[in-house]
Amino acid sequence: MKIQSIAISCALSLSLFGCGGSSNEGGPIQPDTTKLSTFSLGISDAPVNGLKEVNVVFNNITLKSDTQQYSFDIRSANNNLPTMVNLLDYTGSNIFPILGEQVVAAGQYQWLRATVVNGDNNNLSMTSHVVYQDDTLAPLIVKRKGNDGIGEIQVNGFTLNQTSNNFVLEFDLKKSLVNPNNSDVVMLKPRGVRLENIVESHSIKGTISDALIANCETDNISLAADDSSFGHAIYLYSADVEAVKDIYEDNEDSLPVNAPKATANVIFNNDDKISEFEVPFISSGNYQLAYTCTAHIDDPEIMDDAFKIHQIKMITVNNADLSVAFDISN
Protein backbone atom coordinates (compact mmCIF):
# COMPACT_ATOMS: atom_id res chain seq x y z
CA MET A 1 0.00 0.00 0.00
CA LYS A 2 1.12 3.52 -0.68
CA ILE A 3 0.68 5.00 2.75
CA GLN A 4 2.89 7.07 4.90
CA SER A 5 2.35 4.90 7.93
CA ILE A 6 2.90 6.12 11.43
CA ALA A 7 1.10 2.97 12.51
CA ILE A 8 -1.41 0.66 10.84
CA SER A 9 -3.78 -0.79 13.39
CA CYS A 10 -4.90 -4.42 13.40
CA ALA A 11 -3.52 -5.18 9.91
CA LEU A 12 -6.31 -3.01 8.48
CA SER A 13 -8.05 -5.82 6.67
CA LEU A 14 -11.74 -5.60 5.84
CA SER A 15 -12.05 -9.28 6.67
CA LEU A 16 -10.82 -8.98 10.26
CA PHE A 17 -12.65 -8.35 13.52
CA GLY A 18 -11.58 -6.27 16.48
CA CYS A 19 -9.65 -3.36 14.99
CA GLY A 20 -9.99 -1.05 17.99
CA GLY A 21 -12.24 -1.45 21.00
CA SER A 22 -15.88 -0.60 21.58
CA SER A 23 -16.64 1.99 24.23
CA ASN A 24 -20.22 0.70 24.56
CA GLU A 25 -20.96 0.03 28.23
CA GLY A 26 -21.01 -3.66 29.04
CA GLY A 27 -18.61 -4.58 26.28
CA PRO A 28 -19.17 -5.46 22.62
CA ILE A 29 -22.69 -6.46 21.60
CA GLN A 30 -22.94 -10.17 20.78
CA PRO A 31 -23.49 -11.25 17.15
CA ASP A 32 -26.90 -12.83 17.87
CA THR A 33 -28.40 -9.40 18.71
CA THR A 34 -26.56 -7.21 16.21
CA LYS A 35 -25.33 -7.18 12.62
CA LEU A 36 -22.01 -6.46 11.03
CA SER A 37 -20.86 -3.03 10.00
CA THR A 38 -17.68 -2.49 7.98
CA PHE A 39 -16.10 0.94 7.62
CA SER A 40 -13.36 1.94 5.22
CA LEU A 41 -11.82 5.17 4.05
CA GLY A 42 -11.53 6.38 0.46
CA ILE A 43 -11.24 9.44 -1.72
CA SER A 44 -13.00 10.20 -5.00
CA ASP A 45 -10.49 12.51 -6.63
CA ALA A 46 -7.42 14.67 -6.12
CA PRO A 47 -8.21 17.93 -7.91
CA VAL A 48 -5.94 20.30 -6.01
CA ASN A 49 -3.08 21.61 -8.12
CA GLY A 50 0.37 21.95 -6.60
CA LEU A 51 0.06 19.18 -3.99
CA LYS A 52 1.97 15.90 -3.95
CA GLU A 53 0.49 14.58 -0.71
CA VAL A 54 -2.48 15.22 1.57
CA ASN A 55 -1.61 13.35 4.75
CA VAL A 56 -4.37 12.98 7.34
CA VAL A 57 -3.57 11.39 10.72
CA PHE A 58 -6.63 9.49 11.94
CA ASN A 59 -7.06 8.96 15.66
CA ASN A 60 -10.55 7.60 16.35
CA ILE A 61 -13.87 6.64 14.72
CA THR A 62 -17.13 7.04 16.71
CA LEU A 63 -20.69 6.03 15.75
CA LYS A 64 -23.71 7.45 17.61
CA SER A 65 -27.34 6.34 17.52
CA ASP A 66 -30.19 7.27 19.87
CA THR A 67 -29.31 4.40 22.18
CA GLN A 68 -25.79 3.29 21.35
CA GLN A 69 -22.35 4.77 20.95
CA TYR A 70 -19.28 2.91 19.69
CA SER A 71 -15.75 4.26 19.63
CA PHE A 72 -12.80 2.63 17.85
CA ASP A 73 -9.20 3.77 18.20
CA ILE A 74 -7.28 3.87 14.91
CA ARG A 75 -4.02 3.29 16.69
CA SER A 76 -1.29 0.68 16.86
CA ALA A 77 -1.34 -1.82 19.69
CA ASN A 78 2.48 -1.75 19.66
CA ASN A 79 3.25 1.95 20.07
CA ASN A 80 -0.22 3.55 20.46
CA LEU A 81 0.33 5.98 17.57
CA PRO A 82 -2.42 7.10 15.15
CA THR A 83 -2.53 6.18 11.46
CA MET A 84 -1.40 8.55 8.69
CA VAL A 85 -2.96 8.16 5.24
CA ASN A 86 -2.00 10.08 2.11
CA LEU A 87 -5.42 10.63 0.55
CA LEU A 88 -3.91 11.21 -2.88
CA ASP A 89 -2.88 7.54 -2.97
CA TYR A 90 -6.54 6.49 -2.90
CA THR A 91 -8.39 8.18 -5.74
CA GLY A 92 -11.48 7.09 -7.64
CA SER A 93 -12.78 3.76 -6.33
CA ASN A 94 -9.51 2.85 -4.58
CA ILE A 95 -10.01 2.45 -0.84
CA PHE A 96 -7.70 2.43 2.14
CA PRO A 97 -9.35 0.26 4.85
CA ILE A 98 -9.13 2.32 8.01
CA LEU A 99 -11.31 0.13 10.23
CA GLY A 100 -11.85 -3.63 10.00
CA GLU A 101 -15.17 -5.41 10.46
CA GLN A 102 -16.89 -4.55 13.76
CA VAL A 103 -20.04 -5.98 15.36
CA VAL A 104 -22.47 -3.15 16.14
CA ALA A 105 -26.24 -2.68 16.29
CA ALA A 106 -28.18 -2.26 13.06
CA GLY A 107 -30.54 0.69 12.55
CA GLN A 108 -30.51 4.47 12.26
CA TYR A 109 -27.44 6.41 13.39
CA GLN A 110 -27.20 10.12 14.17
CA TRP A 111 -23.61 10.55 13.06
CA LEU A 112 -20.19 9.12 12.35
CA ARG A 113 -17.27 11.15 13.67
CA ALA A 114 -13.61 10.80 12.77
CA THR A 115 -11.05 12.62 14.89
CA VAL A 116 -7.70 13.57 13.39
CA VAL A 117 -4.42 14.86 14.74
CA ASN A 118 -4.08 18.42 13.41
CA GLY A 119 -0.86 19.60 11.85
CA ASP A 120 1.81 20.93 14.18
CA ASN A 121 4.79 22.87 12.81
CA ASN A 122 6.90 21.47 15.63
CA ASN A 123 6.21 17.89 14.50
CA LEU A 124 4.83 17.90 10.95
CA SER A 125 6.11 14.44 10.03
CA MET A 126 3.88 12.89 12.74
CA THR A 127 0.81 15.13 12.34
CA SER A 128 -1.57 16.00 9.48
CA HIS A 129 0.10 17.95 6.67
CA VAL A 130 0.29 18.57 2.93
CA VAL A 131 3.34 18.36 0.69
CA TYR A 132 3.69 20.77 -2.23
CA GLN A 133 5.30 19.98 -5.56
CA ASP A 134 8.51 21.65 -4.40
CA ASP A 135 8.54 19.31 -1.34
CA THR A 136 7.74 22.05 1.17
CA LEU A 137 5.26 21.14 3.91
CA ALA A 138 2.32 22.93 5.53
CA PRO A 139 0.11 21.92 8.48
CA LEU A 140 -3.32 20.48 7.66
CA ILE A 141 -6.00 21.58 10.11
CA VAL A 142 -9.56 20.37 10.75
CA LYS A 143 -11.57 22.63 13.04
CA ARG A 144 -13.53 21.64 16.12
CA LYS A 145 -14.53 23.26 19.39
CA GLY A 146 -11.61 23.63 21.74
CA ASN A 147 -7.93 23.96 21.02
CA ASP A 148 -6.45 20.58 21.90
CA GLY A 149 -4.71 19.74 18.62
CA ILE A 150 -7.49 17.37 17.53
CA GLY A 151 -9.76 18.00 14.54
CA GLU A 152 -13.18 16.53 13.93
CA ILE A 153 -14.94 15.33 10.78
CA GLN A 154 -18.61 14.51 11.34
CA VAL A 155 -21.10 13.08 8.84
CA ASN A 156 -24.73 13.02 9.93
CA GLY A 157 -27.57 10.58 9.33
CA PHE A 158 -26.95 7.07 8.03
CA THR A 159 -28.40 3.56 8.35
CA LEU A 160 -26.76 0.24 9.09
CA ASN A 161 -28.68 -2.53 7.34
CA GLN A 162 -29.36 -5.92 8.92
CA THR A 163 -26.52 -7.41 6.90
CA SER A 164 -22.84 -6.62 6.52
CA ASN A 165 -22.28 -2.91 5.76
CA ASN A 166 -19.15 -1.73 4.02
CA PHE A 167 -18.89 2.06 4.25
CA VAL A 168 -16.46 4.51 2.73
CA LEU A 169 -15.69 7.99 4.02
CA GLU A 170 -15.35 9.82 0.73
CA PHE A 171 -13.24 13.01 0.60
CA ASP A 172 -13.86 15.46 -2.24
CA LEU A 173 -10.73 17.60 -1.97
CA LYS A 174 -11.98 20.15 -4.48
CA LYS A 175 -14.64 21.16 -1.97
CA SER A 176 -12.72 20.37 1.23
CA LEU A 177 -9.28 21.97 0.90
CA VAL A 178 -9.24 25.74 1.29
CA ASN A 179 -6.65 27.90 -0.46
CA PRO A 180 -3.90 25.26 -0.49
CA ASN A 181 -1.59 27.47 -2.56
CA ASN A 182 -2.05 30.71 -0.66
CA SER A 183 -1.79 29.94 3.03
CA ASP A 184 0.76 28.73 5.55
CA VAL A 185 -1.95 26.54 7.06
CA VAL A 186 -4.26 24.39 4.88
CA MET A 187 -7.81 23.88 6.11
CA LEU A 188 -9.68 20.62 5.54
CA LYS A 189 -13.41 21.31 5.84
CA PRO A 190 -15.89 18.48 6.52
CA ARG A 191 -18.41 19.92 4.05
CA GLY A 192 -16.67 18.05 1.21
CA VAL A 193 -16.89 14.62 2.89
CA ARG A 194 -19.55 11.99 2.17
CA LEU A 195 -20.35 8.70 3.90
CA GLU A 196 -21.52 6.01 1.50
CA ASN A 197 -22.37 2.33 1.86
CA ILE A 198 -20.43 0.57 -0.90
CA VAL A 199 -23.00 -2.24 -1.23
CA GLU A 200 -25.65 0.39 -2.07
CA SER A 201 -23.58 2.64 -4.34
CA HIS A 202 -22.18 2.57 -7.84
CA SER A 203 -19.57 4.27 -10.01
CA ILE A 204 -20.18 6.66 -12.88
CA LYS A 205 -17.38 6.34 -15.41
CA GLY A 206 -16.99 7.95 -18.79
CA THR A 207 -15.06 9.78 -21.45
CA ILE A 208 -14.81 13.30 -22.86
CA SER A 209 -14.15 13.60 -26.59
CA ASP A 210 -11.21 15.65 -27.87
CA ALA A 211 -13.65 17.71 -29.95
CA LEU A 212 -15.74 18.68 -26.92
CA ILE A 213 -12.64 19.58 -24.92
CA ALA A 214 -11.41 21.77 -27.78
CA ASN A 215 -14.80 23.48 -28.05
CA CYS A 216 -14.92 24.20 -24.34
CA GLU A 217 -11.43 25.67 -24.30
CA THR A 218 -12.18 27.82 -27.35
CA ASP A 219 -15.41 29.12 -25.83
CA ASN A 220 -13.60 29.99 -22.59
CA ILE A 221 -10.22 31.13 -23.89
CA SER A 222 -10.37 34.31 -21.79
CA LEU A 223 -10.54 32.17 -18.62
CA ALA A 224 -7.41 30.14 -19.29
CA ALA A 225 -4.82 29.97 -16.54
CA ASP A 226 -1.57 31.93 -16.79
CA ASP A 227 0.11 28.91 -18.40
CA SER A 228 -2.82 28.61 -20.89
CA SER A 229 -4.11 25.45 -19.21
CA PHE A 230 -7.69 24.62 -18.20
CA GLY A 231 -9.29 22.66 -15.38
CA HIS A 232 -11.29 19.80 -16.87
CA ALA A 233 -13.71 18.24 -14.39
CA ILE A 234 -17.04 16.50 -13.91
CA TYR A 235 -19.67 17.82 -11.48
CA LEU A 236 -22.62 15.73 -10.24
CA TYR A 237 -25.87 17.48 -9.26
CA SER A 238 -29.30 16.37 -8.10
CA ALA A 239 -31.74 15.94 -10.97
CA ASP A 240 -34.12 18.58 -9.59
CA VAL A 241 -31.55 21.41 -9.47
CA GLU A 242 -32.76 24.11 -11.87
CA ALA A 243 -29.68 26.35 -11.86
CA VAL A 244 -26.46 24.45 -11.23
CA LYS A 245 -23.68 26.41 -9.52
CA ASP A 246 -20.01 26.28 -8.66
CA ILE A 247 -18.59 24.69 -5.50
CA TYR A 248 -18.77 27.89 -3.42
CA GLU A 249 -20.43 27.20 -0.07
CA ASP A 250 -21.08 30.06 2.32
CA ASN A 251 -21.96 27.65 5.15
CA GLU A 252 -19.13 25.87 6.95
CA ASP A 253 -20.96 22.58 7.39
CA SER A 254 -23.81 22.22 4.88
CA LEU A 255 -24.18 22.25 1.11
CA PRO A 256 -26.44 24.58 -0.89
CA VAL A 257 -29.13 22.58 -2.64
CA ASN A 258 -27.80 23.58 -6.08
CA ALA A 259 -24.14 22.81 -5.31
CA PRO A 260 -22.54 19.69 -6.78
CA LYS A 261 -22.87 16.52 -4.72
CA ALA A 262 -19.53 15.25 -6.02
CA THR A 263 -16.75 16.23 -8.40
CA ALA A 264 -14.06 14.35 -10.30
CA ASN A 265 -11.10 15.33 -12.41
CA VAL A 266 -10.95 14.51 -16.10
CA ILE A 267 -7.69 12.63 -16.62
CA PHE A 268 -5.94 11.91 -19.92
CA ASN A 269 -5.18 8.20 -20.29
CA ASN A 270 -1.84 8.01 -22.08
CA ASP A 271 -2.28 4.33 -22.95
CA ASP A 272 -5.72 4.65 -24.55
CA LYS A 273 -5.21 8.28 -25.68
CA ILE A 274 -8.56 9.37 -24.28
CA SER A 275 -9.80 11.70 -21.55
CA GLU A 276 -11.76 9.88 -18.87
CA PHE A 277 -13.32 10.31 -15.43
CA GLU A 278 -14.78 8.35 -12.54
CA VAL A 279 -17.28 9.47 -9.90
CA PRO A 280 -17.43 6.59 -7.39
CA PHE A 281 -19.77 5.69 -4.52
CA ILE A 282 -23.02 7.19 -5.86
CA SER A 283 -26.39 6.00 -4.57
CA SER A 284 -29.14 4.99 -6.99
CA GLY A 285 -31.21 7.90 -8.26
CA ASN A 286 -31.58 10.59 -10.91
CA TYR A 287 -28.81 13.13 -11.44
CA GLN A 288 -27.37 15.78 -13.71
CA LEU A 289 -23.81 15.03 -14.84
CA ALA A 290 -21.92 18.11 -16.03
CA TYR A 291 -18.62 18.72 -17.81
CA THR A 292 -16.58 21.90 -17.42
CA CYS A 293 -13.14 23.10 -18.47
CA THR A 294 -13.20 26.04 -16.01
CA ALA A 295 -12.72 24.08 -12.78
CA HIS A 296 -9.35 25.80 -12.29
CA ILE A 297 -11.12 29.05 -11.35
CA ASP A 298 -13.66 27.37 -9.05
CA ASP A 299 -12.75 28.24 -5.45
CA PRO A 300 -14.89 26.88 -2.56
CA GLU A 301 -14.37 30.14 -0.66
CA ILE A 302 -15.35 32.51 -3.48
CA MET A 303 -18.43 32.85 -5.67
CA ASP A 304 -16.97 32.37 -9.15
CA ASP A 305 -19.36 34.14 -11.51
CA ALA A 306 -17.14 33.37 -14.50
CA PHE A 307 -17.32 29.61 -13.86
CA LYS A 308 -19.25 27.83 -16.62
CA ILE A 309 -20.71 24.38 -17.20
CA HIS A 310 -20.16 23.38 -20.83
CA GLN A 311 -22.43 20.35 -21.17
CA ILE A 312 -25.00 18.61 -18.95
CA LYS A 313 -26.54 15.15 -19.23
CA MET A 314 -29.51 13.76 -17.33
CA ILE A 315 -28.58 10.33 -16.01
CA THR A 316 -30.05 7.58 -13.85
CA VAL A 317 -27.97 5.39 -11.56
CA ASN A 318 -29.92 2.20 -10.99
CA ASN A 319 -28.37 -0.86 -9.33
CA ALA A 320 -25.31 -0.93 -11.57
CA ASP A 321 -22.27 1.08 -12.59
CA LEU A 322 -22.96 3.59 -15.34
CA SER A 323 -20.90 4.56 -18.39
CA VAL A 324 -21.35 8.03 -19.93
CA ALA A 325 -19.74 9.53 -23.04
CA PHE A 326 -19.54 13.33 -23.52
CA ASP A 327 -19.22 14.47 -27.14
CA ILE A 328 -20.22 17.42 -29.31
CA SER A 329 -22.99 15.34 -30.90
CA ASN A 330 -24.88 14.70 -27.66
Q: Domain holding 222: CATH number?
A: 2.60.40.10
Domain C-terminal end among 188, 213, 234 = 188
Task: With respect to residue 94, please indicate whether it lies within any of the assigned structural domains.
Answer: yes
Domain C-terminal end among 126, 158, 188 = 188
pLDDT (mean) for 127-152 = 86
The pLDDT of residue 232 is 95
pLDDT at 50 over 80: no
The pLDDT of residue 105 is 83
**Same domain? 99 vs 212:** no
pLDDT at 98 over 60: yes
pLDDT tens readout for residues 235-292? 999 999 887 867 766 555 556 677 888 999 999 999 999 999 999 999 999 999 999 9
**Same domain? 161 vs 121:** yes
Task: With respect to residue 198, please indicate whether it lies within any of the assigned structural domains.
Answer: no
Rounded to two decimals, the pTM is 0.80
Q: Mean pLDDT over all residues of the chain? A: 81
pLDDT at 139 over 60: yes
**Same domain? 166 vs 23:** yes
**Same domain? 147 vs 210:** no
pLDDT tens readout for residues 206-225? 999 999 999 999 999 999 99
Residue 280 structural domain? 203-326
Over pLDDT 70: what percentage of the chain? 78
Domain total in the chain? 2
- Three-state DSSP string of the chain: CCCCCCCCHHHHCCCCECCCCCCCCCCCCCCCCCEEEEEEEEEEECCCCCEEEEEEEEEEEEEECCCCEEEEECECCCCCCEEEEEHHHCCCCCEEEEEEEEEECCEEEEEEEEEEECCCCCCHHHCCEEEECCCCEEEEECCCCCCCCEEEEEEEEEEECCCCCEEEEEEEHHHHEECCCCCCCEEECHHHEEEEEHHHEEEEEEEECHHHHHHHHHHCHHHCCCCCCCECEEEEEECCCCCCCCCCCCCCCCCCCCCCCEEEECEEECCCCEEEEEEEEEECEEEEEEEECEHHHCCCCCCCCCCCCCEEEEEEECCCCEEEEECCCC
The pLDDT of residue 62 is 94
**Same domain? 213 vs 288:** yes
Task: With respect to residue 313, please indicate whether it lies within any of the assigned structural domains.
Answer: yes
The pLDDT of residue 252 is 54
pLDDT at 25 over 90: no
pLDDT (mean) for 152-174 = 86
Task: With respect to residue 194, please indicate whether it lies within any of the assigned structural domains.
Answer: no
**Same domain? 39 vs 184:** yes
Task: With respect to residue 197, please indicate whether it lies within any of the assigned structural domains.
Answer: no
Task: With respect to residue 17, please indicate whether it lies within any of the assigned structural domains.
Answer: yes
pLDDT at 91 over 50: yes
The pLDDT of residue 255 is 60
**Same domain? 182 vs 225:** no
pLDDT (mean) for 95-118 = 88
Domain C-terminal end among 162, 188, 214 = 188
The pLDDT of residue 250 is 59
Q: How confident is the model at residue 204 (pLDDT cuts 50, 70, 90)?
A: very high
Task: With respect to residue 99, please indicate whether it lies within any of the assigned structural domains.
Answer: yes
**Same domain? 71 vs 108:** yes
More confident residue, 130 or 77: 130
